[in-house]
């Protein structure tokens, strides 16, 4: 599982060298390979081992520090920060988590967050969405229905739907969570698909959310989204507990 993952691994962060170094170190940290408190190899040796210049290595460290994963001080060196300081909702950090088979606990916690945020967001979206957003939600669900979650296009449409709901809240900080929730949706969906197709058809739940938002019924939208997320959680949990099909 430490093999190159093409889902997003070659994507945004790893075009430049400093980005790929940051990703490599980030994955090593969030996967527990470097524990909080551990001191990293000093810049000179580390950059030598990684075959990059010290400048590049330093820029990678700056990225990690900006996301709360490490802290640097002269003489002491660069050490992994306490987990409480990690920006777990940062899209990159989240992506790094999912590059190395996250723990079941972590998945559960993410679902818990979705369970808090998404129903409330759906309620706000029902009150504030405009026609353009509504149309985008509808289009996303249509694509999702045709393509199913087995294809990347279908999964992208799923994320697009959830993103647009967040966007329709007209709440900037809340919308920031869409990249986090989107990441959670993306990876957990892949987990589900990895096992047998015992997963239920997700479309009826999605349409109910959409209809409520379209009708402007906040409470109904909240409840529909609650059902959607909790059912998704059940499916994910089932596919984790179940003996793997193709390991």
Partner DNA sequence: ACCTAAGAATAGTCCGACAAATATAGGGCC
Partner DNA sequence: GGCCCTATATTTGTCGGACTATTCTTAGGT
- Residues near DNA (CB under 7 A): 16-18, 40, 42-44, 51-56, 58-59, 61, 72-78
Q: Is 58 in the site for a copy of itself (CB under 8 A)?
A: yes
If you write DSSP's letter for every residue of 88-100 in order, what string do you get? TTSHHHHHHHHTT
Dist CA 22 CA 1 (whole Å): 18
Q: Closer to DNA by CB, 43 or 226: give it.
A: 43
Residue 122 interacts, among DNA, a copy of itself, none and using kind-specific CB cut-offs from 5 to 8 Å, with: none
Give Cα 174 to chain centroid, integer Å: 15
* One of 63, 125, 218, 228 touching a copy of itself (CB under 8 A): 63
Which of DNA, a copy of itself, none is residue 34 near (CB under 5 to 8 Å by kind)?
none
What's the min distance (Å) between Cβ of 77 and DNA? 4
**Least distance to DNA, CB of residue 42, Å:** 3
151 binds, among a copy of itself, DNA, none (CB under 5 to 8 A by kind): none
Lookup result for tokens 């709360």: 68
**Across the chain, where does the E strand assignment appear?**
70-73, 77-80
Position among 31, 48, 50, 62 found at the interface with a copy of itself (CB under 8 A): 62
What is the Cβ-side half-sphere exposure of residue 48, based on CA atoms within 13 angstroms? 5
Secondary structure (3-state) at 5: coil
Is the CB of residue 195 less than 8 Å from the CB of residue 244? Answer: yes
Taking CB under 8 A as the rule, does residue 195 contact a copy of itself? Answer: no
| Backbone torsion region of residue 101, taken as left when φ is above 0, otherwise alpha when ψ lies between -120 and 50, otherwise beta | left
Chain positions 93 to 112 lying near a copy of itself, rule: CB under 8 A, are 106, 109-110, 112
The yes or no reply on residue 113 touching a copy of itself (CB under 8 A) is yes
Q: What SS3 string covers 30-88?
A: HCCCCCCCCECCCHHHHHHHCCCCHHHHHHHHHHHHHCCCEEEECCCEEEECCHHHCCC
Nearer to a copy of itself, 46 or 117 (CB): 117
Binding site for a copy of itself (CB under 8 A): 18, 55, 58-59, 62-63, 65-67, 83-84, 86-90, 92, 106, 109-110, 112-113, 116-117, 120-121, 124, 167, 171-177, 180
């Amino acid at each position: 599982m430490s093999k190159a993952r093409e889902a997003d691994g070659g994507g945004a962060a790893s075009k430049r060298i400093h980005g790929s170094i940051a990703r490599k170190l980030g994955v090593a940290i969030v996967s527990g390979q470097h524990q909080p408190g551990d001191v990293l190899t000093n810049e000179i040796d580390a950059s030598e081992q990684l075959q990059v210049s010290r400048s590049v290595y330093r820029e990678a460290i700056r990225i990690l520090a900006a996301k709360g994963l490490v802290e640097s001080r002269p003489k002491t060196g660069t050490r992994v920060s306490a987990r409480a300081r990690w920006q777990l909702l940062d899209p990159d950090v989240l992506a790094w988590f999912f590059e190395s088979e996250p723990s079941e606990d972590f998945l559960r916690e993410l679902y818990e967050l979705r369970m808090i945020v998404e129903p409330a967001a759906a309620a706000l979206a029902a009150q504030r969405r405009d026609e353009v957003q509504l149309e985008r939600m509808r289009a996303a669900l249509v694509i999702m229905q045709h393509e199913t979650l087995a294809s990347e296009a279908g999964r992208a449409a799923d994320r697009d739907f959830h993103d647009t709901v967040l966007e329709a809240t007209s709440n900037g900080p809340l919308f920031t969570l869409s990249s986090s929730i989107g990441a959670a949706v993306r990876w957990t969906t892949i987990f589900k698909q990895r096992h047998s197709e015992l997963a239920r058809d997700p479309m009826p739940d999605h349409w109910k959310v959409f209809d409520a938002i379209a009708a402007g019924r906040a409470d109904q939208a909240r409840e529909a989204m609650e059902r959607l997320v909790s059912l998704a959680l059940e499916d994910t949990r089932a596919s984790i507990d179940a003996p793997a099909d193709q390991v």
